Amino acid sequence: MKKETIAAISTGMTNSGIGIVRISGEDAFAVADRVYRGKQRLSDAESHTIHYGHIIDSGETVDEVLVMAMRSPRTFTGEDTIEINCHGGTFVVRRVLETVLKNGARPAEPGEFTKRAFLNGKMDLSQAEAVIDVINSENEYALQSSLSQLKGSIKNKIIDIRNKIIYHTAFIESALDDPEHIEIDGYADTLLEAAEEIIHDLEEMISSADNGRVIREGINTVILGKPNAGKSSLLNVLAGHERAIVTDIEGTTRDILEEQIRLGDLSLNVIDTAGIRQTEDVIEKIGVDRAMEYAGKADLIIYVVDASRELDENDEKILPLIKDKNTVILLNKSDLDTVVTEEMIKKKAGSICSGFSEEGKTKKEIPVISVSAKEEKGIEKLEKKLKEMFLNGIVSFNDQICISNVRQKNALADAEESMKKVVESINAGMPEDFYSIDLMDAYEALGSITGESVGEDLVNEIFSKFCMGK
């Protein structure tokens, strides 16, 4: 069945030096010939060549252009593709697209170019999802992680695991069909070892999902502290502009302020909360309650302590909120005479947060950094500490896989659950055909990551989230 030829603007809709209109499909060259005038027809051009000319609409010149002609299958979509490089004004780019649409192409749907690349076997579904992650990258780590996935890091790992599963499934099925020639006695031990190895690989990939989310979406950060500790001043320093109102009046910040901040190579989704204290003010109390609620969901808590004032009952109320949380304590107002020392706050925090983790290891000591939001001192130390906390072990993306979205994580969890059922069946001495059922469930779950076992509705939903022209 012949596919329609599609076209869309593939660059941002803002005035710029260059704009690109992309055409893809079996009639891409024919459509281009109707609108392009140059030394030769594009249909006669060799693949992967660039041509100078003009776009013409009803005899009038629309723009002076460079056109790239690319023939299938060596294109992004796997189809014949034309890319018209025109001047980047929003009006002229639209006019070029309108001319193309008038001459035989239809408007592309969001993500349709990448969808065609997937359907034509140019990439698997995990690589297609990495395309939008590359576009949406907010920092260097997010970009490198997405590029690694685009190159096939996840695809290759999934293929390797699926090959192991299908090998054992095929052996069991063959032995059950031909027991006279294929011996299956004792095979359960071999399968048990393989299943446990696969479960370990799946667990490692699932555990990377939190790192993947932090890399891609940023660190959900809540700034806590009692009134006038300097939380809003810190937010303004991190943001690089006056985001929050700063006064000497306690309770100035009553609502939640949110700001996305680049701190070096990290992205922080920062929430500045109301100062935590006992209050009879109804509105301020709502702000305090929200602060405590957000703290419970945060990836990181920055606890700002006013080092120029003694610790009081408000600090005592904050300390339990940082228990079991990634926390950095900032001793603010180091430019003044201080009465709260690093040793003092560590002792206080240690009495709340000491103990052992679920893995039985002693919990790490909460880092304490002296800063002055007023004089913007100590921020570099904060940045260094956050890198140690969140990027240790996930900076190199050549060898490590980071799962980047919930869909992939859920599919891995489904596969892991099926493989655990295989282990349970082996340990319970169940018949071999039970193994095959769960092995195939795991195989299908992993196939949904690469797109080998997904329905059309899911594919459409994934690509509908893409930007137009990609």
The predicted structure's pLDDT at residue 362 = 44
Phi-psi region of 429 (alpha: psi -120 to 50; beta: other; left: phi over 0): left
The predicted structure's pLDDT at residue 430 = 87
The predicted structure's pLDDT at residue 361 = 45
Return d(Cα 323, Cα 312) in angstroms, integer.
18
Return d(Cα 148, Cα 151) in angstroms, integer.
5
* 396: β partners: none
Return d(Cα 118, Cα 107) in angstroms, integer.
19
Quick check: pTM over 0.85? no
Q: Can you list the residues of the chain whose pLDDT is less than 50?
A: 243-255, 280, 282, 354-362, 393-399
Contacts of 88 (CB under 8 A, 6+ apart): 11, 15, 16, 17, 18, 19
The predicted structure's pLDDT at residue 48 = 96
Return d(Cα 304, Cα 271) in angstroms, integer.
13
Query: For residue 135, what is the DSSP state?
Result: H
* 83: β partners: 22, 68
The predicted structure's pLDDT at residue 416 = 96
Return d(Cα 276, Cα 279) in angstroms, integer.
9
CB distance 80 to 71 below 8 Å: yes
The predicted structure's pLDDT at residue 231 = 83
Return d(Cα 435, Cα 429) in angstroms, integer.
10
The predicted-structure confidence for 211-244, as pLDDT tens digits, reads as follows: 666 666 778 888 888 888 888 888 888 877 554 4
3-state secondary structure of 311: coil
Question: What domains, with CATH codes, occur in the chain?
Answer: 6-124 (3.30.1360.120), 139-213+402-451 (1.20.120.430), 218-373 (3.40.50.300)
Tell me the DSSP string of 163-213.
HHHHHHHHHHHHHHH-TTTS--TTHHHHHHHHHHHHHHHHHHHHHHHHHHH
- In 3D, which of 320, 386, 314 has the Cα closest to residue 353? 320
Residue position matching structure tokens 């006695």: 185
